[in-house]
Amino acid sequence: MFVCSSPGGWYHTDRLTGCIPLAVSCDIPLIMDGTIARIYGLHGLIYQRSVLEVIPHLETYKHTPYKGRGQDLDTMRGFLS
């Protein structure tokens, strides 16, 4: 199971709600564009132009749990404060 964030939208400019905090809280791997990965310091399946770029990697992706990855969560908390 993966959570996919769409390119553009509020995640890039204004607020962090919905699928990204849900994925991190539930430890579900994220599919996101490179901008989101840089803004929030998250890891996952990253695409640059189209979500279709990650399809060949879905079956072999090895997720590193978000829990215990203090840097990711601290980055998100810092961004939200």
Q: pLDDT tier at 47 (50, 70, 90 boundaries)?
A: very high
The pTM of the whole model exceeds 0.85: no
Look at the chain and report how many structural domains it folds into.
1
Residue 81 has pLDDT above 50, yes or no: no
More confident residue, 1 or 8: 1
Residue 72 has pLDDT above 80, yes or no: no
Q: How far is CA 15 from CA 5, 9, 20, 61, 76, in A?
A: 13, 9, 11, 28, 11
**Chain segment 12-36, per-residue pLDDT in tens:** 666 666 788 888 888 888 888 888 8
47 vs 79: CA distance, rounded Å: 22
Q: Which domain holds residue 48?
A: 3-80
